[in-house]
């Protein structure tokens, strides 16, 4: 829950101690890396017109380099 105090600053309240903040979640994503994948098909009258496949890799440069080096060493 986000509330504003008299100064207009946003403060977070009502969260449990074990819940992740946005910054903790972003830090975890950058430290570990995450892959987001999805696909979209646009069709008309059961005829597929457009297929779009998307893969996104998000992480820090160091994390991605370590993953790529480990993958290349395993080949």
State pLDDT tens for residues 1-55. Answer: 444 444 444 444 554 556 668 888 888 888 888 888 999 999 999 888 999 999 9
1 within some domain: no
Average of per-residue pLDDT across 61-67? 85
Number of structural domains found in the chain: 1
Quick one: pLDDT at residue 35? 84
Is residue 34 in a domain? yes
Q: Which domain holds residue 68?
A: 20-73
Is 3 among the domain residues?
no
What is the predicted pLDDT for the residue at 25?
A: 82
pTM: 0.45
Domain annotation covers residue 32: yes
Predicted pLDDT at 8: 41
Long-range contacts (CB closer than 8 Å, 24 or more residues apart) made by 29-38: 29/58, 29/59, 30/58, 30/59, 30/60, 30/63, 31/59, 31/60, 31/63, 32/59, 32/63, 33/57, 33/58, 33/59, 33/60, 33/63, 33/64, 33/67, 34/58, 34/59
Instruction: Establish if 36 belongs to a structural domain.
Output: yes
């Amino acid at each position: 829950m986000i509330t504003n105090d008299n100064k207009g600053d946003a403060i977070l309240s009502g969260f449990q101690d074990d819940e992740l903040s946005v910054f903790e979640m972003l830090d975890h994503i950058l430290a570990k890396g995450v892959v987001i994948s999805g696909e979209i098909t646009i069709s008309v009258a059961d005829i597929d017109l457009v297929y779009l496949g998307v893969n996104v890799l998000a992480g820090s440069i160091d994390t991605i380099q370590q993953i790529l080096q480990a993958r290349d060493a395993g080949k």
